[in-house]
A and B are shown apart, each in its own frame.
Chain A
Amino acid sequence: MPIYDLIIIGAGPAGITASVYAARKKLDFLVISLDIGGQAAWSGDIENYTGYQFITGPELALKFEEHMRRYDTALREGEEVLEVKKSGEIILVKTNKADYQSRSVIIASGKKSKELGVTGEKEFKHRGLTYCATCDGPLFTGRDVAVIGGGNSALDAALQLTKIAKQVYIINNTVELGGDAIMRQKLQAASNVVILNNSKVISVLGDKFVSSIKIKSSDQEKELTVQGVFVEIGLTPNVAFAKDVEKNQKNEIKINLRNESSIPGIFVAGDVTDVPEKQIIIAAGEGSKAALSVFHYLSRKVF
């Protein structure tokens, strides 16, 4: 079995940028990822990535991918990492398809949507319940929908839906909506939005497709007739495979200024880390830093 210099886990902005730097440092490395582009590919309009005054998420993701592929990088797409473990000086990476060995690893696995954890959520996924308003929103033209959540991603989803759906309910479990003031104002100006604060979803109901949700508002239970449920309650780090590294309260992997985790040889970059602020441009910058740190680590160390 070959021993790589580096294995990069994830191909979002952080992982792809790390791969570009690793290729230019002529490291012998591999990229393993379920998808390409990560959350950036799911973003709508991006106006804060320097050099592009305006670009859409899918377009920027495509640019990232082209940049990575320029270097004949070995890529295992659609492969899921199940375990990362240090054994002596070598790091073992186990996936759903193979086992690999490497002298170093960069974890850049990002974040994914949080689930509600209520009855009916799994059964009705893609049967009216979705985690991506940008993707599936247009399917709900003229229907009644509920957005679950009260932060920016929920407000963004609700705003998109006001233009498509008949009635938009926002189910928010705190006293009032969070997010940016400008987005709250836009929502208040829309005529087809009902905001239900202090409310939470208890179950999702239906036959073949979603037909209603049961909610609890100020200790009273009621049923809302909706055909669409958009879950936007935030994100959770993809860390199930990295049991041994230290994490913070949000389950993000703790790193130092050199992107080192608590285990030497395991570096981490992007949204999966505890760096403050999650932005595409920050993830990309962190990816380059992690790759350079790996380069220094490998050149200092005798294997």
Chain B
Amino acid sequence: MAKSVKVYSTSTCPWCIRAKQFLKENNIEFQNLDVSGDQLAADEMMAKTGQMGVPVLDIDGEIIIGFDKEKIKQLLGL
């Protein structure tokens, strides 16, 4: 079964754009949460990670801070 993937991002951050592009290239479906417009999403991200840097990826509950390509590949089995 496909894993649930959430991306916490802002529209302007280059690493967010790269992370989302990487997921698209690999045909991974994901839910994008824009933390700049959505305070609830921002609070959720800060509670999960204890920090405010974007992007944050939540892959079936496993948290990745930043665009860590190797870790994303590993968790998604790419």
Cβ of A138: which chain B residues have Cβ within 8 Å of it? 10-12, 35-37
Please state if B13 and A135 are interface contacts (CB–CB under 8 Å).
yes
Known: A127-B51, A127-B52, A139-B54. A134 touches B39 (CB 8 A): no
Interface size on B, residues (CB 8 A): 24
Query: What class of interface size applies to chain A in its complex with B?
Result: 20 to 34
Residue of A with least CB distance to B49: A126
Please state if A136 and B14 are interface contacts (CB–CB under 8 Å).
no
Say yes or no: is B23 at the interface (Cβ < 8 Å to chain A).
Answer: no
A134 to B16, CA, bound (A): 12
Cβ of A137: which chain B residues have Cβ within 8 Å of it? 10, 12
Query: In chain B between 11 and 41, which residues have their CB closer than 8 angstroms to a CB of chain A?
Result: 11-18, 21, 35-37, 39
Cβ of A42: which chain B residues have Cβ within 8 Å of it? 14
A139 to B33, CA, bound (A): 12
Say yes or no: is B69 at the interface (Cβ < 8 Å to chain A).
Answer: yes
A256 to B78, CA, bound (A): 46
Residue of B with least CB distance to A43: B14
Known: A37-B14, A61-B14, A141-B36. A135 touches B54 (CB 8 A): yes
Say yes or no: is B42 at the interface (Cβ < 8 Å to chain A).
Answer: yes
B40 to chain A, nearest CB (A): 12
A94 to chain B, nearest CB (A): 21
A50 to B45, CA, bound (A): 40
Say yes or no: is B62 at the interface (Cβ < 8 Å to chain A).
Answer: no
From the candidates B15, B52, B69, name the one contacting A126 in the complex (CB within 8 A). B52
A145 to chain B, nearest CB (A): 12
Please state if A139 and B36 are interface contacts (CB–CB under 8 Å).
yes
Please state if B53 and A130 are interface contacts (CB–CB under 8 Å).
yes
Residue of B with least CB distance to A228: B52
Say yes or no: is A295 at the interface (Cβ < 8 Å to chain B).
Answer: no
Query: In chain B between 37 and 75, which residues have their CB closer than 8 angstroms to a CB of chain A?
Result: 37, 39, 42, 46, 50-54, 65, 69-70
Cβ of A78: which chain B residues have Cβ within 8 Å of it? 69-70
Known: A41-B14, A78-B69. A139 touches B50 (CB 8 A): no
Binary flags per residue of A79-122, CB closer than 8 Å to B gives 1, else 0: 00000000000000000000000000000000000000000000
Please state if B17 and A126 are interface contacts (CB–CB under 8 Å).
no
Say yes or no: is A10 at the interface (Cβ < 8 Å to chain B).
Answer: no
Please state if A139 and B42 are interface contacts (CB–CB under 8 Å).
yes
A60 to chain B, nearest CB (A): 11
Please state if A135 and B14 are interface contacts (CB–CB under 8 Å).
yes
Say yes or no: is A296 at the interface (Cβ < 8 Å to chain B).
Answer: no
A136 to B35, CA, bound (A): 10
Please state if A139 and B10 are interface contacts (CB–CB under 8 Å).
yes
Say yes or no: is A209 at the interface (Cβ < 8 Å to chain B).
Answer: yes
A77 to chain B, nearest CB (A): 8
A117 to B20, CA, bound (A): 34
Known: A139-B36, A139-B42, A141-B36. A58 touches B53 (CB 8 A): no
Cβ of A208: which chain B residues have Cβ within 8 Å of it? 50
A36 to chain B, nearest CB (A): 8
Query: In chain A between 36 and 61, which residues have their CB closer than 8 angstroms to a CB of chain B?
Result: 37, 41-42, 44, 57-58, 61
For this complex, 13 residue pairs linking A to B, each with C-beta atoms less than 8 Å apart, are: A42-B14, A58-B17, A61-B14, A62-B21, A127-B51, A128-B52, A132-B13, A136-B10, A137-B12, A138-B11, A138-B35, A138-B36, A139-B35
Which 5 pairs between the two chains have the least Cβ-Cβ distance? A138-B36, A135-B13, A126-B53, A41-B14, A126-B51
Assuming A41-B14, A141-B39, what are 6 further A-B pairs, CB within 8 angstroms? Answer: A58-B18, A132-B13, A135-B12, A135-B13, A138-B37, A139-B35
